[in-house]
Amino acid sequence: MATVQQQLADFPVAEAGGRAQTPFQRFRADFFASRLATVSLYVLVAIILIAVFAPVISPTDPYNLATVTVLDARLPPGVKGSDGITFWLGSDGAGRDLLSAIFYGLRISLGVGVISGLVAVCIGCVVGLTAAYFGGRTDSVIMRIVDIQLSFPAILVALVLLAILGKGVDKIIIALVVAQWAYYARTVRASALVERNKEYVEAAKCLALGHRRILFRHILPNCLPPLIVVATLQTAHAISLEATLSFLGVGLPITEPSLGLLIANGFEYMLSEKYWISFFPGVALLVAIVSINLVGDQLRDILNPRLQR
Amino acid sequence: MSVFVIRRLLQSALVVLVMSLLVFVGVNVVGDPVEMLVNPEADQAEIARVVQSFGLDRPLYEQYGLFLLNAFKGNLGLSFVYGEPALKLIVQRIPATLELALAALLMAIMLGIPLGVFAGLRPDSKVSKTIMAGSILGFSLPTFWVGIMMIMVFAVMLGWLPSTGRGATVNVLGIDVSFLTWDGLAHLLMPALNLALFKISLVIRLSRAGTRETVLQDYIKFARAKGISNARVVLVHLLKNILIPVVTVIGLEFGGLIAFSVVTETVFAWPGMGKLIIDSIHSLDRPVVVAYLMIIVLVFVIINLVVDILYSILDPRVRLRDVKA
């Protein structure tokens, strides 16, 4: 009894002075300790807000044929257009305001990246947990498939699929999911292997809980930290991959102008020194990718148990 | 050892077989094989001829067998656009892609190792911090966008380098190479740097980490205590020891260079395999697409096999673990 009481006393319940921190507070303090990570997080939040509210905050609707005129085509940044709107970042080959087009493009790019990431996380979790929990033949067969897939670069896997499937939003999401799931499966399996042998799993097994419940309610929550880190960095990778494939003309159709397609559209005007049509969408893409990567790096530093202070 | 090699060979053959099945299913079941293999402008007689030669009137498993048989013979159909065997078209483009990839590999080594070693030796200096920030950018920048910006700056604005194409080539042992002429070199510089950018960042990080670990070792301290010049300590004692992981990773990443050359070749209109596949996808030249998919899978399986075997020679633990499993 005494030991239990002692343990309770050691447990950091809110003390009188309120000094004790919940794990989340400690996590938050660790995260904001780095100025670079803090700035990246704010930038990332801003980008997500822009993507979500693009139709509301864009100066013009770049895909409304009634308001876009070819008279405004290829105006340099800062020039006023025919109906009095200033094109702060210039206009593209069809006379669309580039700033608005970038807002809408972010929406599509982030959307495709996040949706494909979520689907890939789900598949990766199920596969990785299954491999780790059941072990033996199941494990070696699954991991052999994962290893073989990871020996091909992601861009090649996606390119092969898209060459067969053709263009389309659904198709690029499928391609990105197939290109990514193996990373998640490997991550989840690695941490689930460690968790599997812990006492709480044994306790759950003694209670005769079902496999599914043990896997998803007991093991999975404890595998989340590395998964979150990989998911963050992998999302940046997916966004970059989608932009690349769309630029190559094998990704999204012209009806879904992501940042990659905007850059591709500007490419033909490059040789006549109209740099802004490709330059600004690229900057937007770069800012999005770098901010996600920096946030992911900071998360990795905090969540890595080996670096725990 | 032979058990390991045989296992890996069987596995590679299995991967090629599975991929051929996937491509076959993609072409013949998901899509319409007649539409895929016959030129849209062909007449009835031509359609009948192709249906006959590919056995499209037979059951599916027989069709797959024929597809494999034809693939083994190197018959993957005629290109609609060029009217030549698809396989021949791709094989002709391989030297250009290899030249680009090798040039990029060389750049990654020549630039990445010195910069990384410097950053590792003086981790707190301003220059090192700039190098490391640059390597973060190198990881994040989308390759194709950097390529466009390079063309913008160096070809359009400054006019220093040609924007696209391969330039003059010299025929050496039946292979056209461009690095032997000044014009070819000028054309090669930008695409190679563009392709190398990501790998340069990678090599910088690896050599920096290696250097920081190695300078703390006793043999480096001992070499310094002996009074050996700083240059010799760095160039001989240190460099030899950090090279092992760097060379391994560079070898592993060579496949990645070939995959990413698709992007660089498209941006710089470099006449390699990657540009051919993208052009073929756009012009619906399906026999070339199918042939490219089969060849690229074969190339990667071979690269992976070679890397695996080399690895098992360098590190016997890999081989032992695999045989046990």
Write out pLDDT tens, residues B82-134: 778 888 888 888 888 888 898 999 898 889 889 988 888 888 888 888 888 88
Task: Note whether B140 contacts A293, CB cutoff 8 Å.
Answer: yes
Please report residues of A whose CB lies closer than 8 A to that of B267.
267
CA neighbor of B151 nearest in space, from B61, B270, B262, B247: B270
pTM over 0.95: no
Q: Which DSSP category does A75 fall into?
A: P
Residue B320: its pLDDT value, please?
61
- pLDDT exceeds 60 at position A307: no
**Quick check: B92 contacting A, CB < 8 Å?**
no
Task: Note whether B293 contacts A140, CB cutoff 8 Å.
Answer: no
d(CA A233, CA A308): 21
Task: Give B26-44 pLDDT, tens digit per residue.
Answer: 766 666 666 666 666 667 7
Task: State which residue of chain A sits closest to B12, comparing Cα positions.
Answer: A148
Task: Note whether A271 contacts B156, CB cutoff 8 Å.
Answer: yes
| Contact residues, B window 107-136, toward A, CB-based 8 Å cutoff | 136
- CA B320 to chain centroid, in Å, comes to 29
Q: Which residue reads 């309120």 in tokens?
A: A18
Nearest to B141 among A148, A159, A286 (CB): A286
- pLDDT exceeds 90 at position A177: yes
Residue A112: its pLDDT value, please?
92
d(CA A124, CA A108): 24
Angle (nearest 5°) at CA B154 between B152 and B156 = 50
Task: State which residue of chain A sits closest to B163, comparing Cα positions.
Answer: A271
Tokens of A162: 């898209």
Task: Give B145-200 pLDDT, tens digit per residue.
Answer: 888 888 888 887 787 877 777 766 667 666 677 766 777 777 888 899 999 888 89
Nearest to A248 among B26, B152, B266 (CB): B266
Instruction: Burial-class residue B290 by CB neighbours within 10 Å (0-12, 13-18, 19+).
Output: buried
Q: Rounded mean pLDDT of A252-273?
A: 80
Task: Note whether A155 contacts B262, CB cutoff 8 Å.
Answer: yes
Q: To the nearest whole angstrom, how far is the Cα of B122 from the nearest Cα of chain A?
A: 22
Confidence check on the interface: ipTM exceeds 0.85, yes or no: no
CATH homologous superfamily for the domain A32-307:
MetI-like (1.10.3720.10)
Q: Rounded mean pLDDT of A232-256?
A: 87
Domains, chain B, in order of start with CATH, read 86-324 (1.10.3720.10)
Interface probe for B, chosen from A248, A262, A269, A286 (most Cβ of B below 10 Å), is A248
Please report residues of A whose CB lies closer than 8 A to that of B143.
244
- CB burial of B108-134 (b: ≥16 within 10 Å; e: otherwise) equals bbebbbebbbbbbbeeeeeebeebbeb
**Alpha helices of A33-97 — where are they, by DSSP H?**
35-52, 54-57
Task: Give A103-129 pLDDT, tens digit per residue.
Answer: 888 988 999 999 999 999 999 999 999
Q: To the nearest whole angstrom, how far is the Cα of B233 from the nearest Cα of chain A?
A: 32
Task: Note whether B148 contacts A273, CB cutoff 8 Å.
Answer: no
Q: To the nearest whole angstrom, how far is the Cα of A239 from the nearest Cα of chain B?
A: 10
Nearest to A263 among B145, B156, B289 (CB): B145
Instruction: Burial-class residue A179 by CB neighbours within 10 Å (0-12, 13-18, 19+).
Output: buried
d(CA B71, CA B54): 11
**Quick check: B284 contacting A, CB < 8 Å?**
no
Interface probe for A, chosen from B19, B136, B140, B308 (most Cβ of A below 10 Å), is B140
Query: Domain locations in chain A?
Result: 32-307
